[in-house]
């Protein structure tokens, strides 16, 4: 039996979650992520899992919090507005170290915005996780296959680090249909020893102990700090394409990177020395990998479907004397042509 199917991004993410052993999902309908909830509402009962349609995103993420505390692989799908509402709980999940996966299929903001795809949730995803010094790993798929693969990786990372993981897509990835290959079904993992209800050598498991003395407060924040440092060292991921001899390097993620790949291919075919660098993890941001890829380039082009958000991380990573040029798509997705023209202009600027 082949496990290759034609699916849209939302469906692929939902099926991949089930394959990864996720057996609890909660969500609130929100375009363009709703199909994930719809798919899971039918699929979860087939595999002995649970899907709850919550009364709000606040409730959805707190249900995930409860399910995660009881040892289940749990997730919630949403879009930017919902992710805004989930910030407090994400902060709490960081604090008490609970795993969980949040999928943000981003739509235009700010505010209610509209349904077209956007990358303007970059700040919310990478600087988010609410108040305090919390951090969530952020994965940025470009294709339907990658959305499926990264969903599975997200659950593994969440469990490994007992930390929330975000999958940042957009309305385009949510709806585009492509062939996708799924790995075999994984069993629901055994409940971890720290989960509830559970006891540890006669002591009741406790999640979210109330601390007041500053020493133990500092100890717990140091523990998180140490974990985040480990994640930065171990889990940073990026891809470089045609970057070895490039004069101009395009840095893009997600859908913008998908379009940029096409633009770079076309430009290469026309003899232009351009390359692409694509962060796969937005936090941790692949700073060192970007420095290596940008070594020797004359300029960097940063196409983003927003007013310029990731470009801040690019600037922080690279030599300030390097020319770093934004290319912002305010509504919807780029056409490869737009990026190719921008590259051409940059190259002509040299002569």
Partner 1 sequence: MPLAETIGAKVLPARTEAMGERPIPYCPGCGHGTAQRLIADTIESLGIRDRVVGVIGAGCYTNGGMGSFDFPRLSSLHGRAPAVATGVKRARPEAAVFTLQGDGDLAAIGMGEIMHACMRGERITVVMLNNSTYGNTGGQLAPTTLVGQRTATTTSGRDPDQHGEPLRVTELLATLPGVKFAARGAVNTAQNIWYTRRFLRSAFEVALAGKGLGFVEVLSQCPTFWGVDPTASLEWVKRSAETVFPLGEVKRALP
- Is 235 within 8 Å of 284 (Cβ atoms)? yes
Closer residue to partner 1, CB minimum distance, 93 or 276: 93
Could you tell me the smallest distance in angstroms from the CB atom of residue 227 to partner 1? 20
Taking only Cα atoms into account, the Rg of the chain, rounded to an integer number of angstroms, comes to 21
Q: What minimum distance in Å lies between the beta carbon of 59 and partner 1?
A: 4
Helix (H) or strand (E) holding 27: strand 24-27
Among residues 324, 12, 304, 334, which one has the least CA distance to residue 173? 12
Judged by DSSP in three states, 165 sits in: strand
Residues that bind partner 1 (CB under 8 A): 23-24, 26, 50, 52, 54-56, 58-60, 62-72, 74, 88-89, 92, 96, 191, 196-199, 204-210, 212
Q: Compare residues 185 and 206 and give the one whose CB is closer to partner 1.
A: 206
Distance of CA 274 to the CA centre of its chain: 26
If residue 337 lies in a helix (H) or strand (E), which one and from where to where? helix 336-350
Least Å distance, CB 312 to partner 1, is 30
In the complex, the smallest distance separating the C-beta of residue 60 from partner 1, rounded to whole angstroms, is 8
236 contacts: CB under 8 Å, gap ≥ 6? 281, 284, 285, 286, 287, 288, 289
Nearer CB in complex with partner 1: 52/139: 52
**Surface-to-core class of residue 196, CB atoms within 10 Å of its CB (0-12 exposed, 13-18 middle, 19+ buried):** middle
Query: Residues 60, 11: contact at Cβ < 8 Å?
Result: no
Please, are residues 60 and 98 in contact by the beta-carbon 8 Å criterion?
Answer: no
DSSP class of residue 335? P
Which C-beta is closer to partner 1: that of 96 or that of 322? 96
- Decide whether 58 or 322 has the Cβ nearer to partner 1: 58
Instruction: Name the residue nearer to partner 1 (CB basis): 49 or 326.
Output: 49
**28, 55 contact by CB (below 8 A):** yes
Q: Which is nearer to partner 1, 205 or 344 (CB)?
A: 205
Q: How far is the CB of 134 from partner 1 (least distance, A)?
A: 13
Identify the H or E element spanning 5. Answer: strand 4-8
Q: Which is nearer to partner 1, 46 or 209 (CB)?
A: 209
Residue 349: CB minimum distance to partner 1, A: 52
CB of 96 to partner 1, least distance (A): 7
Q: Rounded distance, CA 129 to CA 71, Å?
A: 21
């Amino acid at each position: 039996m082949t496990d290759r199917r034609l699916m849209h991004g939302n469906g692929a993410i939902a099926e991949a979650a089930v394959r990864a052993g996720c057996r609890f999902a909660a969500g609130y309908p929100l375009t363009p992520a709703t199909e994930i909830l719809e798919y899971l509402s039918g699929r979860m009962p087939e595999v002995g899992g649970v899907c709850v349609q919550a009364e709000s995103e606040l409730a959805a993420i707190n249900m995930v919090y409860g399910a995660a505390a009881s040892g289940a692989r749990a997730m919630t799908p949403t879009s930017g507005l919902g992710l805004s509402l989930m910030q407090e709980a994400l902060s709490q999940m960081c604090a008490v170290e609970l795993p969980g996966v949040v999928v943000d299929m981003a739509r235009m903001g700010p505010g209610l915005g509209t349904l077209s795809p956007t990358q303007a949730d970059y700040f919310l995803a990478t600087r988010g996780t609410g108040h305090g010094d919390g951090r969530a790993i952020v994965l940025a798929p470009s294709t339907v296959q990658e959305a499926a693969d990264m969903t599975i990786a997200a659950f593994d990372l969440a469990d490994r680090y007992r930390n929330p993981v975000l999958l940042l897509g957009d309305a385009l990835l949510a709806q585009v249909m492509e062939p996708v290959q799924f790995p075999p079904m994984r069993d629901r993992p055994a409940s971890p020893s720290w989960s509830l209800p559970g006891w540890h050598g006669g002591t009741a498991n406790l999640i979210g102990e109330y601390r007041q003395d500053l020493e133990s407060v500092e100890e717990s924040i140091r523990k998180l700090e140490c974990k985040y440092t480990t994640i930065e060292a171990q889990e940073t991921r990026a891809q470089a394409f045609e970057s070895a001899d490039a004069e101009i390097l395009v840095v893009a993620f997600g859908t913008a990177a998908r379009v940029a790949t096409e633009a770079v291919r076309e430009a290469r075919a026309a003899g232009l020395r351009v390359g692409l660098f694509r962060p796969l993890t937005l936090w941790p941001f692949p700073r060192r990998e970007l420095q290596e890829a940008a070594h020797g380039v004359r300029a960097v082009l940063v196409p983003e479907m927003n007013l310029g958000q990731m470009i801040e991380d690019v600037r922080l990573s690279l030599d300030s004397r390097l020319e770093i040029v934004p290319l912002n798509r305010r509504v919807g997705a780029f056409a490869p042509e737009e990026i190719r023209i921008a590259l051409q202009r940059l190259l002509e600027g040299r002569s």
